[in-house]
Amino acid sequence: MHTLTKILGELVSLFVDDGTLAATILIWVTFYGLVLQLLPMGSWQGPILFIGLAVILIENTRRAPPHPQAGDGREGAG
């Protein structure tokens, strides 16, 4: 059973690298689908969905820790 749980965890990690990003997107799409569809917006529905997703992605990218740059001369110096 432990092996099956580990395999399923690896399978999920192939598609979901950042759990907070995935959860935030699911919350936004659910909120948009349930609440914002009740408002008469006409042709603005698509752009509002896109802008919300773009803001979520930008905020998630801004919060990400910096990655070490490849080839900065520190690896293997010795």
Taking alpha carbons only, the member of 13, 16, 25, 26 closest to residue 57 is 25
Looking at the chain, the number of H-run helices and the number of E-run strands are 3, 0
**Residue 26 pLDDT:** 93
Matching residue, tokens 């603005």:
44
pLDDT band at 72 (very low <50, low <70, confident <90, very high): low
Task: Tell whether the model's pLDDT for residue 56 goes beyond 80.
Answer: yes
Q: pLDDT tens across 3-47, in order?
A: 999 988 888 777 677 788 888 999 999 999 888 778 787 788 889
Full-model pTM: 0.63
CB count in 10 Å sphere of residue 56: 17
Q: What is the pLDDT of residue 70?
A: 58
